[in-house]
A = this chain, B = another copy of it.
């Protein structure tokens, strides 16, 4: 089944549900369904046949219409769309923000901060992974990316608490779970220190991103930041 077909079918399921076929066996003539769908009787008939083959509805044909009931599998499809829409419409934040930046070599300070045990423990606890001892530095190039990054500040983040040891104070770190180049799970971290400006991203991950993704300075990297309300 192609995606286009799938969506026609989900639309048909929705119309059948509006006739109550998700709660009870409803009598539906192909002519009536056709009217609701804005299509011909023949097409409505074909849709019902497809839905039946797909196992999304149960159907029996009588002399004056079909008795149709949406099956468990069909209900699941409607529920999926509902859940997705519910999340999108009820949540104040976008589900994700995608940023792109160019790899560059930093001063190696990332490793120093990430190495601090009080940070490490929290990374493991709150992000679910032990970070590789180094950060991947990305420079944002476009206005879009810089704007998108600044919008992130308003969205909820995983907060890593600061602390102080005998020498100095280590500040709070805001983390955003992220997917790097559609492949590797990691996190964007901010405010570790203020050496870099808003056009720089620092990424941590359980593995060495440069090795894992075969990255060199100057390569473009996509970071899909996941907002977790």
Contact = CB atoms under 8 A, between A and B. Distances in A.
A3 B39 contact: yes
Contact of A2 (B38, B94, B96): B38
A82 B86 contact: yes
A98 to B, nearest CB: 7
Q: What is the copy number of this chain in the assembly?
A: 2
A50 to B, nearest CB: 14
A27 B144 contact: yes
Nearest to A67: B144
A152 to B, nearest CB: 10
B2 A97 contact: no
B7 A97 contact: no
A138 interface: no
28 contacts: A7-B7, A7-B8, A7-B11, A14-B81, A19-B94, A19-B95, A19-B96, A20-B97, A22-B88, A23-B94, A24-B97, A24-B151, A25-B144, A26-B94, A26-B97, A27-B98, A27-B144, A62-B142, A62-B144, A64-B142, A78-B85, A78-B88, A78-B89, A79-B89, A81-B81, A81-B85, A82-B86, A82-B89
